[in-house]
């Protein structure tokens, strides 16, 4: 796990975008796993800028989103379908049929989840998975105590997650209780993971992910077992790390061939 601490979230987002862009250039038909919420917005803005200003080509890229609310139609303003189109897909030249987002309106949710897993396999697996982390250490919507071997499935949200996500809805009561989410096992199958975390409110979760014990109570801690994870932080999110100075030294002392 490589921890990259930047002065601001904007700079961290640019570093993350450079990692994604390098993969897209080296493998034009790469498969990307994508996250939603406020955390990846800077990353998506920078990717859109790279497309417009530098010709970064997404026409052969395939995407799979981490999750979606159960019961929200794709055109609902708070759905992750709407979020992705507004903040990324409408800004780049991605092909419609290569976009995959869980269907929160599916009539048979278990069958849909199985089909989602199969679609990932048929696409060749996820090359790079973008992740955020919840203040309680969840990744995707894999809440604390989720199985560390889980696959795409329905999950019940904790009250803390509902409270965190209420800002995206007109009323707190409108936040769905259930979601479809990629499982932790699904996430761990990705070729590499890029984790973004900003703000002091995420500091303890980040410390648990990076330096704490591997435990289902902090689902993100499983990423310690992944062979290629880059964690992009701003200074406040890094404030609880015991080895922050060492992580800065590692990043600053990289040989040239290791730099993005």
Residues belonging to the chain: 260
Q: Which of 51, 81, 112, 138 is catalytic?
A: 138
Q: Which residues contact 121 (CB under 8 A, 6 or more apart)?
A: none
Q: Which of 46, 51, 67, 117 is catalytic?
A: 67
Residue matched to tokens 């990692």: 19
Tokens of 256: 């040239």
Residue matched to tokens 């707190």: 172
Are residues 208 and 221 in contact, defined by beta-carbon separation less than 8 angstroms? yes
Q: Which of 46, 68, 136, 164 is catalytic?
A: 136
138 is an active site residue: yes
143 is an active site residue: yes
Tokens of 222: 């499983």
136 is an active site residue: yes
Q: Which of 127, 143, 164, 234 is catalytic?
A: 143
With CA atoms as reference, report the closest residue to 231 among 139, 145, 120. 139
Active-site residue list = 67, 136, 138, 143
């Amino acid at each position: 796990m490589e921890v990259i601490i930047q002065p601001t979230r904007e700079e961290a987002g640019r570093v993350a975008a450079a990692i994604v862009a390098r993969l897209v250039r080296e493998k034009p038909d790469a498969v990307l796993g994508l996250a939603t919420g406020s955390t990846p917005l800077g990353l998506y803005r920078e990717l859109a800028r790279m497309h417009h200003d530098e010709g970064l080509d997404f026409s052969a890229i395939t995407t799979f989103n981490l999750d979606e609310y159960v019961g929200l139609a794709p055109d609902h303003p708070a759905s992750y379908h709407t979020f992705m189109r507004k903040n990324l897909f409408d800004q780049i030249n991605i092909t419609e049929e290569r976009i995959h987002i869980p269907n929160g309106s599916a009539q048979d949710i278990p069958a849909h989840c199985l089909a989602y897993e199969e679609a990932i396999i048929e696409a060749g697996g996820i090359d790079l998975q973008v992740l955020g982390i919840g203040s309680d250490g969840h990744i995707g919507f894999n809440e604390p105590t989720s199985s560390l071997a889980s696959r795409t499935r329905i999950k019940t949200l904790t009250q803390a997650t509902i409270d965190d996500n209420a800002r995206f809805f007109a009323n707190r009561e409108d936040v769905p209780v259930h979601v479809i989410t990629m499982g932790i096992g699904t996430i761990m199958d990705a070729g590499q993971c890029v984790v973004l975390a900003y703000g002091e409110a995420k500091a303890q979760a980040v410390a648990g992910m990076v330096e704490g014990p591997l435990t289902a109570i902090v689902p993100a801690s499983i990423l310690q077992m992944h062979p290629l994870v880059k964690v992009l932080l701003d200074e406040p999110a890094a404030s609880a790390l015991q080895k922050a100075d060492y992580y800065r030294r590692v990043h600053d002392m990289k040989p040239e061939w290791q730099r993005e």
